[in-house]
């Protein structure tokens, strides 16, 4: 089974850190990890944009406990950073005084790569500096925000049964167009086809006449989700196609389609 990027690596990427070589190579080819990284990056952006607000709602303690358990933070981050201090706490890091009419700027996020390499850990570890602690707090608040927010599963607005092309008898697939409350559209792909050595599977939107095509990305697993650019007209690009693409550096369609099907509302 293919090993996806772990949550700690994706969290670092969302914070702007460079990923390790193997994780970066996997991310470039995996639509699932790309989508998860985009979700984390959007959440971090929202969290950072609220640092200048005069008041934030404090989530209940069980939110941080769930985040701590699911993300895999170490014991040093077990206490809720927004909760009541425990007995014998470490002295808090005091922020410099800010004038009442001054604009509060977000704290800079320090690099965590050196700390991670020194300890030989692949997962996110306890921060070693005040700036790194600020980064951990941003991540925790962002994930807690996600835990408190109802998940938007979206609405299926179109679907397609993907039928095998003559050279790929026995292959089968499906596609669903999901529209979220914020207007974002994604195509959810499922494919059952034998793998091909030296090739990858790429997802496309085509016109019925095949006189126009748009690549949505590489399908790194049997299932994947791909964001559809807002400018794409699905009435025109109404056919979903999955092709076998040789690893030759050519970004154009190979002409070797595995499955294909027209979207229906």
Q: Which of 186, 176, 180, 184 is nearest to 227 (CA)?
A: 186
- Tens digits of residue pLDDT in 126-142: 444 455 555 666 666 56
Least confident residue range of 15-24, 69-78, 219-228, 230-239: 69-78
The yes-or-no verdict on residue 228 having pLDDT over 60 is yes
- Tens digits of residue pLDDT in 60-90: 777 777 776 777 777 777 777 766 554 444 4
**What is the Cα–Cα distance from 67 to 74, expressed in whole angstroms?**
12
Mean pLDDT of the chain: 76
Residue 147 has a pLDDT of 57
Task: Find tokens 């993300």 and name the residue.
Answer: 71
Residue 127 has a pLDDT of 41
- Tens digits of residue pLDDT in 144-197: 655 555 566 789 999 999 999 999 999 999 999 999 999 999 999 999 998 888
Q: How confident is the model at residue 120 (pLDDT cuts 50, 70, 90)?
A: very low
- Stretch 204-231: mean pLDDT, rounded? 92
Residue 123 has a pLDDT of 43
Q: Strands 213-219, 172-179: parallel, antiparallel or unpaired by DSSP? A: unpaired
Between residues 28 and 178, the one the model is more confident about: 178
Judged by phi (left if over 0) then psi (alpha if -120 to 50, else beta), residue 120 lies in left
Q: How confident is the model at residue 115 (pLDDT cuts 50, 70, 90)?
A: very low
**What is the Cα–Cα distance from 24 to 13, expressed in whole angstroms?**
9
Give the CATH fold of the 155-262 domain.
Immunoglobulin-like (2.60.40)
Q: How confident is the model at residue 229 (pLDDT cuts 50, 70, 90)?
A: very high
Predicted TM-score (pTM) of this structure: 0.45
Map out the domains of the chain as residue ranges.
Answer: 7-148, 155-262
| Tokens representing residue 225 in the block | 């989700």
Residue 255 has a pLDDT of 92
Between residues 201 and 112, the one the model is more confident about: 201
> Residue 100, class by beta-carbon neighbours within 10 Å (0-12 exposed, 13-18 middle, 19+ buried)?
exposed
Q: How confident is the model at residue 239 (pLDDT cuts 50, 70, 90)?
A: very high
- Stretch 245-261: mean pLDDT, rounded? 92
Instruction: State whether the Cα torsion 212-217-220-223 is positive or negative.
Output: negative
């Amino acid at each position: 089974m293919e090993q996806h990027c772990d949550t700690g690596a994706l969290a670092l990427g969302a914070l702007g850190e460079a990923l390790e070589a193997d994780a970066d190579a996997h991310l470039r080819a995996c639509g699932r990890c790309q989508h998860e990284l985009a979700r984390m990056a959007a959440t971090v952006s929202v969290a950072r944009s609220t640092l200048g607000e005069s008041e934030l709602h404090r989530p209940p303690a069980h939110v941080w406990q769930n985040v701590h358990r699911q993300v895999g933070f170490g014991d040093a981050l077990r206490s809720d950073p927004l909760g009541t201090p425990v007995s014998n706490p470490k002295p808090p890091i005091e922020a410099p005084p800010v004038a009442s009419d001054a604009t509060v700027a977000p704290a800079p996020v320090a690099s965590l790569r050196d700390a991670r390499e020194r300890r030989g850990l692949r997962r996110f570890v306890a921060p070693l500096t005040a700036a790194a602690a600020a980064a951990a707090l941003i991540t925790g608040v962002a994930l807690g925000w996600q835990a408190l927010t109802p998940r938007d599963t979206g609405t299926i607005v179109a679907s397609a049964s993907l039928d095998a092309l003559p050279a790929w008898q026995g292959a089968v697939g499906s596609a669903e167009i999901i529209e979220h409350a914020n207007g974002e559209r994604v195509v959810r792909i499922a494919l059952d086809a034998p793998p091909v050595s030296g090739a990858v599977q790429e997802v496309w939107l085509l016109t019925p006449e095949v006189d126009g095509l748009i690549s949505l990305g590489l399908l790194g697993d049997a299932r994947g989700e791909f964001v559809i650019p807002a400018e794409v007209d699905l009435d025109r690009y109404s056919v979903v196609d999955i092709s076998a693409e040789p690893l030759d550096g050519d970004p154009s369609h190979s002409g070797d389609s595995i499955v294909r099907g027209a979207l229906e509302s």
